[in-house]
């Protein structure tokens, strides 16, 4: 029986062909405009960062990067659009905890799978969360808010950016640990939710600091606590929730960049490298720090690990709060 052997050089060439093809794809990328889907309303913290990233990519690559806001349904509308887009690098998505680590536990059925349908690119930031109230509310501390809520069972209400949004789960975690029951008023994004607090439609909200800062400075909101592990430089006199007596309540938001699953690894690497480079520039770090956000620029592997860890954490809160598969 005759034996056939493939020359070593041919075998090596065949093995390296996919790699060579990916390098060529990355070298030619981008050759046209890129859209960055933001599943939150304009003016939200993730929208602010998305527009900053878009501007820097436009400047670096000479191709327009445009933010496309698709808010609604707790990020499901925008995430579905991104997941079903062509995996060629010309559609990216700004992602947040609710979209990647929460929705799959709250909704009975999603039109996308956050782990299967997306390729993590980079964690772009860590965002400080804060507890804010309407200034007319007769409380000036976390202790006083809890006391007021217990004195008026089910009469206090709180805003969120939507069911399952991190602002919602933060309030649930807060209530579980403080023994406080309040009425949840979901909204379609951070901006309209905060507006409800400012106009007195609701009493309080767990908000990202970037979007809350202008309203804190104008006096339309009152800051009771910072929700991270340390006080924030912008408001050094304001205690953390831990210092206020709720040591088990730590809420930190984050943003990231993801691409539709199947996007060439070489393109993902190129996007990650460019986004991380700009995030770590001194002027960007300073700009984000003023808003309560810290740039990260992690690798795709590091971002993937964060997503899995966050999913485990919030799945437990969702179960304790009785929110699993309720939508």
In this predicted model, what pLDDT tens digit does every residue of 64-121 receive, in sequence order? 999 999 998 878 999 999 999 999 999 999 999 989 999 999 999 999 999 899 999 9
What's the pLDDT score for residue 1? Answer: 46
Same domain, 169 and 186: yes
What's the pLDDT score for residue 203? Answer: 97
What's the pLDDT score for residue 24? Answer: 56
Considering the entire predicted model, what is its pTM?
0.77
| DSSP SS3 for 206 | strand
Question: Is 12 within the bounds of a domain?
Answer: no
Compute how many other C-beta atoms are within 10 angstroms of the C-beta atom of residue 311: 17
Same domain, 262 and 122: yes
Residue 134 has pLDDT above 80, yes or no: yes
Longest dimension (CA), the chain: 93
Q: Which residues are 122's β-sheet partners?
A: 257
Residue 165 has pLDDT above 70, yes or no: yes
Same domain, 219 and 75: no
How many CA atoms lie within 13 Å of 272's alpha carbon, on the beta-carbon side?
22
Instruction: Count structural domains, the chain.
Output: 2
Residue 103: which domain range? 32-126+254-320
Same domain, 132 and 222: yes
Cα separation values, 242 from 73, 201, 248, 250, 251, Å: 32, 28, 7, 8, 11
Give the CATH number of the domain where residue 171 resides. 3.40.190.10
Same domain, 157 and 303: no
For 272-317, the pLDDT digits (tens) are 999 999 999 999 998 888 767 889 999 999 999 999 988 988 898 8
Alpha helices in 84-208 (DSSP H): 97, 103-106, 142-151, 166-178, 190-198
Question: Is 115 within the bounds of a domain?
Answer: yes
């Amino acid at each position: 029986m005759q034996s056939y052997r493939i020359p070593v050089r041919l075998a090596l060439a065949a093995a390296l062909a996919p790699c060579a093809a990916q390098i060529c794809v990355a070298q030619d990328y981008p050759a046209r405009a890129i859209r960055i889907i933001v599943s939150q309303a304009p003016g939200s913290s993730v929208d602010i960062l998305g527009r900053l990233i878009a501007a820097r990519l436009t400047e670096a690559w000479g191709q327009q990067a445009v933010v496309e806001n698709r808010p609604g349904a707790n990020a499901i509308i925008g995430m579905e659009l991104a997941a079903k887009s062509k995996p060629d690098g010309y559609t990216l998505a700004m992602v947040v905890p609710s979209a990647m680590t929460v929705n799959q536990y709250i909704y009975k059925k999603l039109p996308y799978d956050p782990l299967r349908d997306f390729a993590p690119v980079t964690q772009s930031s860590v965002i400080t969360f804060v507890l804010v109230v309407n200034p007319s509310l007769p409380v000036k501390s976390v202790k006083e808010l809890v006391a007021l809520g217990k004195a008026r069972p089910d009469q206090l209400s709180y805003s969120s950016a939507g069911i399952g949004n991190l602002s919602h789960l933060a309030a649930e975690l807060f209530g579980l640990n403080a023994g406080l029951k309040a009425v949840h008023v979901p909204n379609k994004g951070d901006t309209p939710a905060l507006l409800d607090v400012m106009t007195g439609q609701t009493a309080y909200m767990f908000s990202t600091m970037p979007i809350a800062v202008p309203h804190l400075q104008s006096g339309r909101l009152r800051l009771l606590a910072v929700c991270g592990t340390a006080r924030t430089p912008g408001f050094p006199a304001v205690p953390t929730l831990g210092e206020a007596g709720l040591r088990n309540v730590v809420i930190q938001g984050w943003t990231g960049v993801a691409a539709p699953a199947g996007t060439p690894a070489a393109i993902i690497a190129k996007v990650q490298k460019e986004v991380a480079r700009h995030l770590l520039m001194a002027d960007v770090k300073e700009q984000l720090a003023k808003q309560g956000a810290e740039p990260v620029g992690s690798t795709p592997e590091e971002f993937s690990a964060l997503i899995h860890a966050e999913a485990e954490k919030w799945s437990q809160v969702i179960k304790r709060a009785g929110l699993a598969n309720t939508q």
